[in-house]
């Protein structure tokens, strides 16, 4: 049931801002984005008083930075007051509820239904389509059509 709420939240944001670009949406929501060498950490979100900050590992590819931003934006929108753990590669397989929700948010944001429909007459798998749109193979199964 909550996956429908996440999908609805994503659709509202895409409609409101006219894009599925997580960097643009974050900017419009007043979220600061900072880049640093985070070692094995891909990124994390935190609030300092009223300031919302997404930290992204600057050593990642642009495509992976986009996914990390979308994931952390999921925390901004879905888990406003939660202390969220840092996103690591193994977080893709996490059983932690809020990490799964942030992953689902990122997948829905970066891989809207229209993207799937554009490839309906091909023999491409969801993983292949997800790869085109920067969604890691480990989380494409979260896409709900």
Tens-place pLDDT, residues 49-69: 889 999 999 999 999 999 999
- Interval 135-145: pLDDT, tens: 999 999 999 87
The DSSP-derived string for 32-75 is EEEEE--TTEEEEEEEETTEEEEEEETTS-HHHHHHHHHHHHHH
pLDDT top residue among 4 and 43: 43
The contacts of residue 134 (CB under 8 Å, 6+ apart) are: 63, 64, 66, 67, 110
Residues 117-132: what's their mean pLDDT?
A: 91
What's CA 35's distance to the chain center, in Å? 16
| pLDDT category of residue 83 using cuts at 50, 70 and 90 | low
Q: Give this prediction's pTM.
A: 0.90
Annotated domain spans of the chain: 2-135
| pLDDT category of residue 1 using cuts at 50, 70 and 90 | very low
Question: What integer pLDDT is reported at residue 48 of this predicted model?
Answer: 84
Domain 2-135: CATH architecture, name and number where available: Orthogonal Bundle (1.10)
Token pair recorded at residue 100: 């799964």
């Amino acid at each position: 049931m909550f996956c429908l709420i996440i999908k609805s939240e994503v659709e509202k944001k895409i409609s409101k801002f006219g894009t599925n670009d997580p960097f643009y949406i974050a900017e419009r929501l007043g979220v600061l984005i900072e880049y640093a060498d985070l070692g094995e950490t891909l990124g994390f979100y935190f609030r300092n008083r009223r300031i919302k900050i997404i930290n992204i590992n600057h050593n990642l590819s642009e495509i992976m930075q986009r996914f990390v931003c979308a994931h952390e934006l999921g925390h901004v929108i879905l888990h406003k007051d939660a202390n969220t753990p840092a996103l690591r590669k193994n977080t893709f397989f996490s059983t932690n509820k809020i990490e799964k929700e942030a992953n689902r948010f990122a997948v829905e944001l970066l891989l809207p239904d229209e993207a799937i429909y554009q490839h309906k007459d091909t023999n491409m798998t969801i993983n292949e389509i997800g790869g085109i749109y920067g969604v890691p193979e480990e989380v494409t199964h979260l896409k709900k059509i």
